[in-house]
A and B are shown apart, each in its own frame.
Chain A
Amino acid sequence: MVKNKSKWKSAMLIVGFLAPALIVALGIVIYPIINTIIKSFQDPSTGAFTLENYSYLFTNKLARAHIWYTIWVTVLTVVLAIFFSYLLALYLRFSNSRIASVIRSLYLLPRFVPVLVAVYALKMVLSDSGLINRLSMLLPESWALHNFKPGLLYNAKGIILANLWFNIPFATMIISAALSGISSSIVESAQDVGAGKIRIFFKMILPLSISDVMIAATFVFMSNVSSFTTPYLIGANHPMMLGVYLRKQFSSRKYELAAAVSCLIFLFSSISAIVYIYTNLKEKAWERD
């Protein structure tokens, strides 16, 4: 009886602790999402159930171009960001130099710079009359690089560069945390028995950090597949990222189509989130053994 009472008490405690956050999450996350999903299946004029919005996205030539463009810009961002972050994280983990400690204290800042500010700063450097171009104007006129126009804005290159600016610090942070969990002594003992650097990396460091790499990749994917500000300010008009396309549909009052675009992006994110969940569960299973 006493035990039952304390069980009931702790259940009430849990509910009480969780309720405010859950109510807010239901109101500003779950309810809007459900609304959007319903809307994406509605006919704009009658409100009846239809697949028209989705079939438009998959058959319209422009919309399909936007979808493919979004996927390849995002995938390229993820691959490049993870590659450079891994290199940087390895360097930060295994170098004792002063330079490494300087970078360690500086690399997190970009994560805390508002997107808008960073995009603006990058624009000032990369634009065809920006800092890079002005530097090239200092070169002798006979040189080919004189008045060099980077041509990095209003196309995929600019978006990817800006994405890397935001995501390398983030992914480096996640991967560094994983690498710092690998003790130096096991690496050293592998070296003692004659394992080469490449072998140690592929047999030891990579397997021990791969789950965190997947976590980093998931978040990089999710934040970039739906990005709006960066492509809106420095991306092209055609093809455009789905986030910008969504906004455009919304402004022209095609709410149902906008909802379908939202759900499509959500679907892409969910696929990557499944990778995340799977990695997390697998890790937990491993810990249990």
Chain B
Amino acid sequence: MVQAMKPKNMVRALGKKRAGGVIVLLVFMLFFYGPLLYMLPLAFANKYEYPALVPTSYGFQWWKYVLDQPTVVEAIVNSFLFAICSTVLALIICIPAAYALARFRFRGRKFIMLLFLIGNAFPKIGMYTSIGIIYYKIGLMGTFLGVLLIHMLGTMMQMIWLPAGAFRSVPRHQEEAARDAGAGPVRTFFHVTLPIAWPGIAVAAMYAFIGSLGESVGTLMVGLPKYRTMMTEMYGVILDFPATAGAVFALIIIIPNIVLLFLMRNYIGGDTLAKGFKMG
């Protein structure tokens, strides 16, 4: 038994290649999933005192504590409301633009694509402060629309670039064939173009949704005190609450993202997502 535990013998038993793979997997899991999985026992701990490695008693004490906070339920509702509204708004605004950028060649096309990149190059904090000043002037401070626009800011580039990549990959001759068969442009779009480009658009929508759920600093700066979201609450939790309450919060926040990723698993590949960062 002891003999088998020696690294050299383990390598021999596994084979050199597989041992390498096992090490890669181990490091990968520890670094990326270790911290996330550690949230599980923490969230269900009633008692977790130093220096115990695992909680000494489990239960839902901190779930009750968190959900009893007067603002938490409101924050959860707000988070989803903002995520749904900003995703729908972004789709309505960005999909036509993405289609135009993908299908028409015109002067300034590249420049417009770059315009959306600039939003990512400028520091977000600087942008929020500047937008905050403008909001004060035009009365958008602390309003629903104001927060909604802030949520769109972070995802606009992907919402244009990803669908644009998806539209580009629709074979032009298929659209032309539909037009030749007598279908109008609207019908062609909904029956030919959209079904093929759908995965890219769906992924972009998911990006926008998850991005909105995860937005914290901007909402904090233009939405408070009227609009609290899970993320703005999390800021407070990290700073003032006990560690176990933070873990409960972290889980509440991650679960929707994991569910979404699972539902979209057939669409999400590195290849699809990578298109959102390449200007065509």
Contacts and interface: CB of A to CB of B under 8 A. Distances in A.
B270 A113 contact: no
A91 B130 contact: no
Interface stretch (B3-11, B47-55, B191-199): B47-55
B130 A262 contact: yes
Given A21-B97, A24-B152, A262-B122, A134 B52 contact: yes
Taking chain B's interface residues, is the majority helix, strand, or loop, or is none over half, making it mixed?
Answer: helix
Interface residues of A, number: 99
Contact of B125 (A122, A169, A247, A276): A247
A180 B271 contact: yes
Interface residues of B, number: 85
B238 A120 contact: yes
Interface in B251-280: 253-254, 257-258, 260-261, 265, 268, 270-271, 273-275, 277-279
Given A17-B99, A113-B254, A258-B126, A107 B22 contact: no
B38 A125 contact: yes
B131 A258 contact: no
Given A17-B96, A99-B22, A138-B53, A33 B152 contact: no
B271 A116 contact: no
B177 interface: no
Nearest to A98: B21
B246 interface: yes
Contacts of A21: 93-94, 96-97, 156, 160
Contact of B21 (A97, A131, A212, A233): A97
Contacts of A91: 24
21 contacts: A20-B92, A20-B96, A32-B130, A36-B126, A88-B24, A99-B25, A112-B210, A112-B260, A114-B213, A114-B234, A114-B254, A117-B234, A120-B250, A124-B246, A129-B50, A165-B35, A177-B275, A212-B278, A229-B217, A246-B125, A262-B122
Interface of B: 17-18, 21-22, 24-25, 28, 31-36, 38-39, 42, 50-53, 92-94, 96-97, 99-101, 104, 106, 112, 114-127, 129-131, 133-134, 149-150, 152-153, 156, 160, 210, 213-214, 216-217, 231, 234-235, 238, 243, 246-247, 250, 253-254, 257-258, 260-261, 265, 268, 270-271, 273-275, 277-279
Given A33-B130, A123-B238, A222-B120, 17 more contacts: A20-B96, A21-B96, A31-B134, A35-B133, A39-B130, A95-B21, A105-B265, A112-B210, A114-B214, A114-B234, A116-B238, A119-B238, A129-B50, A133-B51, A173-B270, A262-B127, A270-B121
